Amino acid sequence: MKQISFIHAADLHLDSPMVGLKHLPENIFTRVKESTFTALKKLTTAAIESQVDFVIFAGDLFDGEDRSLRAQSRFRTEMLRLAEKDIPVYVIHGNHDHLNGSWVHLDMPKNVHVFHSEVEAKVLQTKNGEIVHLYGFSYPTRHVFSRKIDDYKKEEGADFHIGILHGNESAGTEHDNYAPFSVRDLQEKDFDYWALGHIHKRAVLSEAPPIIYPGNIQGRNKKETGGKGFYHVTLNDLDTKINFVETSDIVWEEAVVDAASVSSFNAILQLCHSTINDLRKEKSGTLVTLFLKNLQLEDYREKRNLDSELLEILLENEIDEESFVWIVNLIVIESKLFDKEQLKTEANFYAELFDTAADYEDIEDTIAPLYQHHLGRKYLSHLPKMEQEELIEKAEKLLIELLYQS
């Protein structure tokens, strides 16, 4: 029975700048900065231990079109490890690391096969003699909106046919519609497997044939929650086995602590510690946004201490933990302020407030006076999009609290 085994990964975003995290303790920030490389090393180690026939990277290996030498060098080191075990690697480049970028070129070992800007087929004969045709293309520029799927043509003479595509399902609405396709488009090509990239959340779009997004191998911000990794795939004439393998060294999470049943600072602290311990993962660090809702402290002095001291107490023993749980954002919501839908029923004004906050696009004009000030220009760095969104969320929360207090 003919059979092949391979790894399908995508969206490595090596050397991602991890925007907005410089406030972390130095040792934790260093580990976060290294996390994409740590995840890649876990992947290559798994490939060697599992003795796979080949590895597929479905786009966006590098975070930017400049492809830093650091990122290229670290990637090359891992490819050399695979070369020593005679494991070939098949690469397409996506919208982030397209072929038209400007970078200092670092040669890759001969086991790395990169697809060019037009759809092409590459032929592999495995150690056991199976013939595999792999089809794909790399983005020639950052924006590819054409239906490249129409250029994928099955060539006879292979035991297995695998399509590699960095793009967006046409029905999707959350991402730029790069190299659009439909599930039916892929199914009609009569391939044995579709290795997709571009979407950072893993998803199985079809089981026959398997059409799969593996997601990225390492979460890079609070929107990319949960464990990240790759798929180890085994195909044969009768069956398909797909196993997800986690690689993320840093995991982003969100958690809610409901304080409705307690009324003292000490009890709230115990609830928070319990939540933190539930989030702790062996050998992985966790960055969490913690929502503390239904706060009903009876003692005003304890309320004052909550705002100033709770976060400090929760973090004081985490800095030296290998499996740390670091709270990157603590959001305290009193009583029912957490429930936006409930607030909308109380007054139409709240619905208007939430809609305004959701559609607000003028934050750069709003904060411009800070950057125009002579001291502001000297000390303030550019505010990334993610931090702008956090600023809007905090302003919305403050407005709700002030309205409720009045």
Beta bridge partners of 8: 56, 231
Q: Do 221 and 289 lie in a common domain?
A: no
Cβ atoms 291, 331 nearer than 8 A? yes
- Domain edge (last residue) among 219, 246, 273: 246
Strands 250-258 and 285-295: parallel
Position 206 scores a pLDDT of 97
Report the pLDDT value the prediction gives residue 118, as an integer from 0 to 100: 97
Same domain, yes or no, for 118 and 241? yes
- 340-358 mean pLDDT: 77
Average pLDDT over residues 242-255: 97
Q: Does one domain contain both 208 and 290?
A: no
Same domain, 153 and 294: no
CATH code (residue 31): 3.60.21.10
Average pLDDT of the segment spanning 83-96: 97
Q: Sorting pLDDT into bands at 50, 70 and 90, what band is 308?
A: low
Q: Are residues 17 and 91 in the same domain?
A: yes
**What is the mean pLDDT of the segment spanning 158-177?**
84
Alpha-carbon Rg for the chain in angstroms: 24
Q: Are residues 299 and 355 in the same domain?
A: no
pLDDT tens digits for 358-378? Answer: 777 677 777 777 766 666 665
In the predicted model, what is the mean pLDDT of residues 52-65?
Answer: 95
The total of structural domains in the chain comes to 3
Residues 233 and 86 grouped into a single domain: yes
Q: Identify the pLDDT of residue 98.
A: 94
222 has a pLDDT exceeding 70: yes
Q: Which of 289, 310, 338 is the last residue of a domain?
A: 338
Are 54 and 200 found together in one domain? yes
148 and 189 inside one domain: yes
What CATH number should be reported for the domain holding residue 283? 3.40.50
pLDDT value of position 263: 81
pLDDT at 351: 79
Regarding pTM above 0.75, the answer is: yes
Query: Is the same domain home to 71 and 181?
Result: yes
Domain boundary among 295, 319, 338: 338
Q: Which residue has the higher pLDDT, 23 or 247?
A: 247
Place 336 in a pLDDT band, splitting at 50, 70 and 90: low
| Same domain, residue pair 370 and 316 | no
> Which structural domain, as residue segments, surrounds residue 229?
3-246
**In this structure, are 241 and 296 located in the same domain?**
no
Higher pLDDT, 378 or 262: 262
